[in-house]
Amino acid sequence: MTAKKLLLLTTGGTIASETSSTGLKPQEKGASLIKQLGPVPYKIDVEDILELDSSNIQPEEWQLMAKKVFCYRTKYDGIVISHGTDTMAYTSSILSFMLQNIDIPVVLTGSQVPINEVLTDAIDNLRLAFAAAANCPPAIYLAFNRKIMLGSRAVKVRTTNFDAFESVKVPPIANVTSDGIVYTGWKPVSPTKPCRLQDQLETHVALVKLFPGFDPQLLYAMVDNGCRGIVIEAYGLGGMNFIRRNLVAVIGDLIHRGIPVIATSQCLYERSDLTRYEVGRLALLEGAISSHDMTAESAITKLMWGLGQGLDVDGITKLFNENLVGEVTLTPGDAVKL
């Protein structure tokens, strides 16, 4: 059997870090990562495209990664991207939108401990990522600690534990056991259209976590300073205050001004549902857009991407009632307006 041809794109992160006078700093090259990996049954090429802590990974770097994947995807059976953990879930989400109908598996991974340290998790994570890139159906994935997750569903939930990421709204695509890669029964739908690079983004957006006493007038300040869209992490199923500090009314006014406002939940698990309580229904009547069971990472990147495609409020509303890359679970009643 011919060995799968895979590509490693390195971007820095803890996995490639070494101790410096200013703390851990990405310095290891991709060739060194592969050397420490040991024998693997794949033909692996390497390209070092960035050398950054993922806290410094921003939309410009997302666009670079998307362009690299798009250009190289016809030459390889799969692509692995090594990445810092802090913003990896944002990157895996936005790449899912920018590279819809991707026709090979693209797998992001990293580590909690640098690869050159004795107790590193980097080698296991890299091996898992290459195995996923060689065997999984085409999609954007995040592979970490023996779990393969859909990129648009992954969230970083721990800062130091090796089990740093979870697929919090749906099960992982697969787990690794002594039997190998064991699929959980849910797989991405195979692409039926050609892959297209759609990397235009609107970066003037905001993600706001609601708290008791939040002054909704601050949203006007954001918009007056160029903010084009807002995701609000509301309470529970999507509740927002309308007594004394009337956030609901401000949301309605902003939507009438052409600023889409997305409502998601602060709760990590399960969905938002603006139809359940008065505090959510009133926001829905004002035009607030439900994110359903999307992660906050997917919601903000989907908003950036949708605005980047030139969509207005109505277009963004329709976009958030569509499942593009497995990022949301919709039922027939989800798109019904009150």
Q: Where are the domains of the chain?
A: 4-183, 205-335
Told to judge if 329 belongs to the known catalytic residues of this protein, a careful annotator would answer no
pLDDT number for residue 27: 84
- The residue-averaged pLDDT of 166-184 equals 92
The answer to whether 156 and 165 are in contact (CB under 8 A) is yes
Q: Whole-angstrom distance between the N-terminal and C-terminal Cα of the chain? A: 57
Report pLDDT for 335.
45
DSSP assignment of 215-245 equals -THHHHHHHHTT--EEEEEEBTTTB---SSS
CATH fit for domain 205-335, picks 3.40.50.2300, 3.40.605.10, 1.10.3470.10, 3.40.50.40: 3.40.50.40
Catalytic residue among 42, 72, 220, 277: 277
What is the DSSP secondary-structure string of 276-319?
SSHHHHHHHHTT-EE-TT--HHHHHHHHHHHHHTT--HHHHHHH
**The one catalytic residue among 4, 68, 147, 156:** 156
**222-247: average pLDDT:** 83
Sequence-ordered list of residues with C-beta below 8 angstroms from that of 235, at least 6 positions apart, any chain: 210, 265, 266, 279
Do residues 153 and 292 touch, judged by C-beta distance below 8 A? Answer: no
Q: What is the DSSP letter of 214?
A: -
Q: For residue 148, give Cα distances in angstroms to 167, 256, 291.
A: 9, 41, 23
Q: Among 27, 78, 74, 73, which residue's Cα sits nearest to residue 53?
A: 27
Hey, which bits of the chain come out as E strands?
4-12, 17-20, 23-26, 42-52, 78-82, 105-109, 139-144, 147-150, 154-156, 165-167, 174-177, 180-183, 205-209, 229-234, 261-265, 289-290
Mean pLDDT of 114-133: 96
| Segment 258-293, tens digit of pLDDT | 999 998 887 777 555 544 433 434 545 457 898 889
Catalytic residue, chosen from 11, 85, 87, 264, is 85
> Does the structure show a pLDDT above 70 at 129?
yes
pLDDT band at 294, cuts 50/70/90? very high
Closest CA to 153 of 317, 162, 161, 144: 144
Q: Which of 4, 53, 77, 86 is catalytic?
A: 86
How high does pLDDT run on average in the chain?
89
pLDDT at 26: 85
Closest CA to 307 of 194, 230, 251, 249: 230
In this structure, of 24-28, 70-74, 281-285, 306-310, the range with the lowest mean pLDDT score is: 281-285
Q: What gap in Å lies between CA 147 and CA 17, rounded to an integer?
A: 23
184 is catalytic: no
276, two tokens: 């359940």
Q: Give residue 22's pLDDT.
A: 74
Task: Please determine whether the domains at 4-183 and 205-335 fall in the same fold group of CATH.
Answer: yes
**74: which 2 tokens?**
């016809």
**4-183: CATH, from 3.90.110.10, 3.40.50.1170, 1.10.10.10, 3.40.50.720:** 3.40.50.1170
The pLDDT of residue 21 is above 60: yes
Q: What SS3 class is residue 199?
A: coil
Catalytic residue among 14, 91, 109, 264: 14
Evaluate if pTM is beyond 0.85. Answer: yes
Mean pLDDT of 53-70: 97
Q: Is 86 a catalytic residue?
A: yes
Quick check: 22 and 93 in contact, CB under 8 A?
Answer: no
User: Percent of the chain having pLDDT more than 90?
Assistant: 72
